[in-house]
Amino acid sequence: MNSKKLKKLRHQAKISKKQEQEPDYIGQIKKYDNLFQEFPQITFLTHNVLESDRLIAQNLLPQSLPVLQVPDDFQDTLFQSLLQKYPMGDPKGDELWNQYSQALPKLDKLLRSFRDYLENHYGMWAYISAPFIKDLAKFLNGAPTLEVMAGNGTISAGLRELDQPVIATDNKGWIAENETGKHSVTEIEKLDALEAWKKYQDQVKFVIMSWSPDGVSIDWNLLQKMRETNPDVTLICIGEKFGSSGSKPFWQGAHYVNPKATEQLNQHFARFDLVHDQVYLIQ
């Protein structure tokens, strides 16, 4: 499937999810966690979601996530488990089988929708974990850093906790779309990406940009300005290449550098759903 078609399907799926949104996402996860409590293949996933949500709700960084989807072979595992407890045709076994079978696709849909929940509930577009922030701070190694399009400031907040100097900026224009965007987790200066670069270009060695708006050329404009005025500064970009973030000219014009460091930064930035966002080092 080509990237344009996949992108369109994701957009349609997201609209459908919003239209059919569960009244209480975490409440639903808890319900299925209880229903499948005897099956560690499922509770491993639900516990990860619940613990992640608990930490983020307290403005703490969560741990890395596994791929959030019901294992392909789980229905067979479920059938064999019930067969060991109930003979074929047993009404109790049939009742449980029907209950589990009806719940599985709903649970799988919920697990795959965790990113949407984070976006809508916390304004968190990239899943930023504590291990990743630790890796990022190690890479920056105390060098002065600027974050543009910081959103709620999750990345900058995590870096500041590790005593990494970082200037967090955002134009805050997106908060009208999301109530949670009004609740920053750290101090953020109100500047758009180009204004922030103009103000701090001679003071920083790195720029962090996470999930630049899809199809908007601000990322490409910023990269060109960086090349014109201070080409030694490295852009640390988090996004889905030719996918759900950033503009086509940016991804086409980016010069990808330092592959070894890039690989190390991505060790704890593993994907957990259909979105293939990664960390890129760009000049």
Residue 44 shares a structural domain with residue 64: yes
Per-residue pLDDT of the chain (283 residues; tens, 9 = 90+): 444 445 545 545 554 444 444 459 999 999 999 999 999 999 999 999 999 999 999 999 999 999 999 999 999 999 898 888 888 888 888 899 899 999 999 999 999 999 999 988 888 889 999 999 999 999 999 999 999 999 999 999 999 999 999 999 998 876 666 655 567 899 999 999 999 999 999 999 999 999 999 999 999 999 999 999 999 999 999 999 999 999 999 999 999 999 999 999 999 998 999 999 999 999 9
Residue 11 shares a structural domain with residue 88: yes
Residue 234 shares a structural domain with residue 115: no
Residue 217 shares a structural domain with residue 263: yes
Residue 153 shares a structural domain with residue 15: no
Residue 179 shares a structural domain with residue 64: no
Written as one letter, the residue type at 80 is Q
Domain count, the chain: 2
Note whether 217 and 249 are within 8 A (CB): yes
Q: Note the pLDDT of residue 180.
A: 52
Exposed/middle/buried for residue 280 (C-beta within 10 Å: 0-12, 13-18, 19+): buried
> Could you give the CA distance from residue 122 to residue 24 in angstroms, rounded to a whole number?
14
Structural domain of 190: 130-282
Nearest to 65 by CA among 121, 108, 114: 114
| Residue 252 Cα distances to 212, 219, 247, 279, angstroms | 15, 12, 9, 16
